[in-house]
Every structure is written in structure tokens, then in C-alpha cells.
């Protein structure tokens, strides 16, 4: 249901219905953020359900940033279309680096400024204010930059976590003992 709602929001973005799209995006994103918690509380969670939810979350980000990109392309704003692609790629990589690090047994890789909740809030605020001059463009640039920074932070964390422990010197005693 949340993904279908986000598709409607994508259409509203292309139609430039900014305020309605912003409200609905926030509502559907909030509902989508709670569905896993609700499934667990009702005893209806499954590994496939978690996998499907994560997959649809990525697809939803693609729909929204794609719709924004289409809108900017229609306006002839090539540079902001490029920023949408950067934001989308970085967003996917933020999620991928977390999932991959967990697959490597590193489950502490949740750092950085732009996890999914932060991306949802920033994107929702930008959509809501889409008709206010260049606010949405600025939000997309900030989203792209902070998502890239988060991805780099997580890659660095994985790099450090996978480095071998430094050898410790064992005191063998001094030659005079």
C-alpha cells in the first residue's frame, strides 16, 4: 500500500501538485516506516517480508527522485537532474553499504547523516516546498551531498572494521633479567 501511494505521489510531483504531494509523501512514508513494527507486533513478520519491504523502499526512492528528475528535465534544469541522479545513487549506496556490511558481520555500520528516516524527512520537506522558488533544488543538492558523505562514512567504517588487529608486542623480558 505504501509503495502504491508513493507512485501516486510521483504522479502528483510530475503534475506539480507540490503541497498535496508533500502531505501524501509524508503520510505514506510514515506509514511505510511503521509497517515492519506493526508486522512484528502482530506476529506476521517474515524474512521475505523484510526483504520485500527493503526492496520496495529503494524502489519508492527511485520513483520519487525519478519524478523530481522528470519535472526538472521538463524545466530544462539539467544540472538539478544530475543532482537527482547523484542523490538516488548515493541513497542506494547508503542502504547497500549497510546491508553489505551486515552480510560481512559488521552490524555497527549505521552512521552518517542521511539514513533513510533523514532522507525521507528532507525529501518530504523539499516536495512540500516545491513551489517556493529554488527551495526544492537546494534540498536535492543537500540530499545528494549529505547522502554521498554518509556513503563515504560507511565505506570508511567498513574499511576500518575489516583491517587486521595490530600485533601486540609481548613482553619477552629484557636481556638483563
* CATH label of the domain that carries residue 32: 1.20.120.1760
At residue 45, the pLDDT reads 80
At residue 168, the pLDDT reads 67
CA distance 35 to 33: 6
How is residue 157 written as a grid cell?
567504517
Domain assignment of residue 115, yes or no: yes
Q: What is the rounded average pLDDT of the residues 30-57?
A: 82
What are the residues whose beta carbons fall under 8 Å from the beta carbon of 113, sequence distance 6 or more? 146, 149, 150
- Structural domains in the chain (count): 1
Domain assignment of residue 171, yes or no: no
Q: What is the rounded average pLDDT of the residues 96-103?
A: 89
Q: How much is the pTM? A: 0.85
Q: Which residues are catalytic, by number?
A: 57
Residue 102 has pLDDT above 60, yes or no: yes
Which of 53-57, 84-88, 165-169 reaches the highest mean pLDDT?
A: 84-88
How is residue 102 written as a grid cell?
551486515
CA distances from 120 to 87, 141, 143 (A): 12, 15, 10
Amino acid at each position: 500500500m505504501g509503495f502504491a501511494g508513493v507512485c501516486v505521489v510521483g504522479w502528483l510531483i510530475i503534475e506539480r501538485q507540490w503541497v498535496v504531494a508533500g502531505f501524501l509523501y509524508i503520510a505514506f512514508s510514515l506509514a511505510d516506516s511503521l509497517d515492519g513494527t506493526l508486522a512484528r507486533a502482530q506476529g506476521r513478520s517474515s524474512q521475505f517480508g523484510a526483504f520485500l519491504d527493503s526492496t520496495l523502499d529503494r524502489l519508492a526512492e527511485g520513483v520519487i527522485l525519478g519524478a523530481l528528475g522528470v519535472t526538472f528535465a521538463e524545466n530544462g534544469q539539467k544540472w538539478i537532474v544530475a543532482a537527482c541522479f547523484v542523490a538516488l545513487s548515493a541513497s542506494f549506496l547508503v542502504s547497500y553499504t549497510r546491508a553489505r556490511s551486515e552480510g560481512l558481520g559488521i552490524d555497527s555500520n549505521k552512521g552518517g547523516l542521511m539514513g533513510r528516516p533523514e532522507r525521507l524527512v528532507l525529501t518530504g520537506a523539499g516536495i512540500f516546498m516545491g513551489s517556493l522558488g529554488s527551495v526544492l533544488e537546494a534540498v536535492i543538492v543537500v540530499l545528494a551531498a549529505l547522502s554521498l558523505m554518509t556513503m563515504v562514512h560507511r565505506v570508511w567504517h567498513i574499511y576500518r572494521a575489516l583491517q587486521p588487529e595490530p600485533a601486540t608486542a609481548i613482553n619477552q623480558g629484557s636481556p638483563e633479567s
